[in-house]
Amino acid sequence: MDENSAQIIKRYFKEYYFTFSERIKAPRDIASREFGYFPFGASMIRHLGFSDVHAFRALLVKEAPAGVYCSNSLYSDPTAEMSAKGWLRAELIFDIDADALRQPCKAVHDIWLCKSCGKKEFGLRPKICPSCKANKILEISWVCDKCLEAAKKETFKLLDFLEFDLGIPMAFVEVCFSGNAGYHIRTEESSFDSLGSTGRGEIADYLAGRGIMPPLINSAHLSPQDPGWRGRIARFIRDLPADDQTFGKVDISFEKRLDALINSFSKKQVDEFLSRAIIDSGVTIDPAVTTDIHRIFRMPESLNNKTGLVKRECTKDLSGFDPLSDAVALGNENRKEMMFVEMCPKVELRGKSYGPFRSQTVELPLYVGIYLALKGAGKFVKSGATQPSEMQGT
Ligand SMILES: [Zn+2]
Ligand SMILES: [Zn+2]
């Protein structure tokens, strides 16, 4: 990144932490947690410990880091090296990423870049570059309100699993927008805290419905009121959308549908139907996050270095939460900066849309410019110093 853009971004982060460091809350059992951060342009500093949140806030104001993290694990000595920390337990964490949900809008806002010839276009990544036929093509993903809405829907599904299948009271669950492309969910004090990585992997498998076999359907006693996956599959059968042709007539009862599945469908048809039910009813999480018990996790109310948005808690009003408005850090529209945008899709922040832009110099609210610069889509123009034509291709 060019020096001018880096300075503007760093100033923005510094102003945020100077103004809002009080919003960074002390996690429970703060003295047993590992903290970490990474400064702009440098690698991660971790294995830090704090016994009170004030010292940590002071560090944030002084350093204005690019990313701020805290362990979901508790240790007897959090500042020791990993093998000597003395792992005690870890809260369950989940990461839901809009990009992994592969929504149709990706074809509109994603960008691909050929690493051989440098060609860059909007749309889904082709298998080979239409220009030079090379196959090393980078996918540059963006998010929009539609895919973030899909991530929210996925989050609601996860909350349902946590409450009804794992028995974790909602009062112990924290939901945050990650500040980038999805949601982070963390549970406090559940009976799963002592689980190691393998046990957490089993939870991830359960959420995804991995290993569910057709005999689960093959039961005349399957009911939408059943607990766990039985009930989920049954409700999928009952609630098929009106235009679904699986059972021919749409208005047949749940019992008749189940009877058709058991007695009239071929094994292949049952397998296909079950796959659909599992994809629809399961939750797409990043299993690497859930199974890692030595992770440090981005802290709520800290800034996301990939966007400049805030990782913001929305536990109490997830349905009304609008990530692309409510997570803007410093939303003063009158503070504007000139920016040369190399390429970006239409971006919507705080209810206003910008772009798509391609090789254009535009004046943008600072928070929009920060978002684009951190996404690698452009750079701030030093007033009077650089003409856009000189900047193309740099
Ligand atoms: Zn190419
Ligand atoms: Zn989208």
What local confidence, expressed as pLDDT, does residue 388 receive? Answer: 45
Report percent pLDDT > 70 for the chain: 95
> Which residues have a Cβ under 8 Å from the Cβ of 21 and sit 6 or more positions away?
57, 58, 60, 61
CB 78 within 8 A of CB 33: yes
What local confidence, expressed as pLDDT, does residue 217 receive? Answer: 66
Which of 222-236, 289-303, 379-393 comes out lowest in average pLDDT?
379-393
Exposure string of 286-308, with b = 16+ CB inside 10 Å and e = fewer, is: bbebbbbbebbbbbbbbbbbbbb
42 band by pLDDT with thresholds 50, 70 and 90: very high
pTM above 0.85, yes or no: yes
What local confidence, expressed as pLDDT, does residue 246 receive? Answer: 85
pLDDT in tens, 358-387: 999 999 999 999 999 999 999 999 865 444
- Exposed, middle or buried: residue 374 (CB in 10 Å: 0-12, 13-18, 19+)? buried
* Nearest ligand (C-alpha, residue 120): 1
pLDDT in tens, 137-193: 999 999 999 999 999 999 999 999 999 999 999 999 999 999 999 999 999 988 999
* Cα–Cα dist 114/136, whole Å: 6
What local confidence, expressed as pLDDT, does residue 179 receive? Answer: 98
Is 95 a residue of the active site?
A: yes
- What is the rounded average pLDDT for all residues in the chain? 93
Q: Helix (H, G, I), strand (E, B), or coil: what is residue 266?
A: coil
CA of 379 to the centre of ligand 2 (A): 23
Rg of the chain (C-alpha set): 24
CA of 98 to the centre of ligand 2 (A): 8
Region 30-35: mean pLDDT is 98
pLDDT in tens, 260-289: 888 888 889 888 998 999 999 999 999 999
* Cα–Cα dist 292/277, whole Å: 28
Rama region for 174: left / alpha / beta (φ>0; ψ in -120 to 50; rest): beta
Is 97 a residue of the active site?
A: yes
> Which residues have a Cβ under 8 Å from the Cβ of 68 and sit 6 or more positions away?
24, 37, 60, 298, 299, 302, 303
CA of 121 to the centre of ligand 1 (A): 11
What local confidence, expressed as pLDDT, does residue 149 receive? Answer: 98
What local confidence, expressed as pLDDT, does residue 345 receive? Answer: 98
* Cα–Cα dist 71/48, whole Å: 10
Tokens of 270: 């049952």
CB 330 within 8 A of CB 359: no
* Nearest ligand (C-alpha, residue 131): 1
CB 167 within 8 A of CB 159: no
DSSP state letter for 55: H
353 pLDDT more than 90: yes
pLDDT in tens, 94-121: 999 999 999 999 999 999 999 999 999 9
Pairing assessment for the beta strands 111-114 and 312-313 based on DSSP bridges = unpaired
14 pLDDT more than 70: yes
326 pLDDT more than 60: yes
125 pLDDT more than 80: yes
What local confidence, expressed as pLDDT, does residue 393 receive? Answer: 40
Ligand 1 (single-atom ion) residues, CB below 5 Å: 114, 116-117, 119, 129, 131-132, 134
Tokens of 66: 């690019």
The alpha carbon dihedral of 32, 38, 39, 43 has a sign of: positive
Q: Helix (H, G, I), strand (E, B), or coil: what is residue 144?
A: coil
pLDDT in tens, 193-209: 999 999 999 999 999 99
* Nearest ligand (C-alpha, residue 347): 2
Relative orientation angle of helices 3-20 and 53-63, to the nearest 10 degrees: 150
CA of 122 to the centre of ligand 1 (A): 14
Is 286 a residue of the active site?
A: yes
In the set 99, 271, 286, 292, the catalytic residue is: 286
CA of 342 to the centre of ligand 1 (A): 18
- Exposed, middle or buried: residue 280 (CB in 10 Å: 0-12, 13-18, 19+)? middle
| CATH of region 331-391, choose from 3.30.300.20, 3.40.50.300, 3.40.5.50, 2.60.40.10 | 3.40.5.50
CA of 373 to the centre of ligand 1 (A): 24
DSSP state letter for 64: -
Region 296-300: mean pLDDT is 97
What local confidence, expressed as pLDDT, does residue 383 receive? Answer: 65
What local confidence, expressed as pLDDT, does residue 112 receive? Answer: 97
Question: Peptide bond before 356: cis, by omega within 30 degrees of 0?
Answer: yes
CB 234 within 8 A of CB 262: no
* Nearest ligand (C-alpha, residue 150): 2
* Nearest ligand (C-alpha, residue 121): 1
CA of 136 to the centre of ligand 1 (A): 8
* Cα–Cα dist 180/177, whole Å: 8
The CATH class for the domain spanning 3-98+146-206+285-313 reads alpha beta
CA of 123 to the centre of ligand 2 (A): 12
Greater pLDDT, 284 or 221: 284
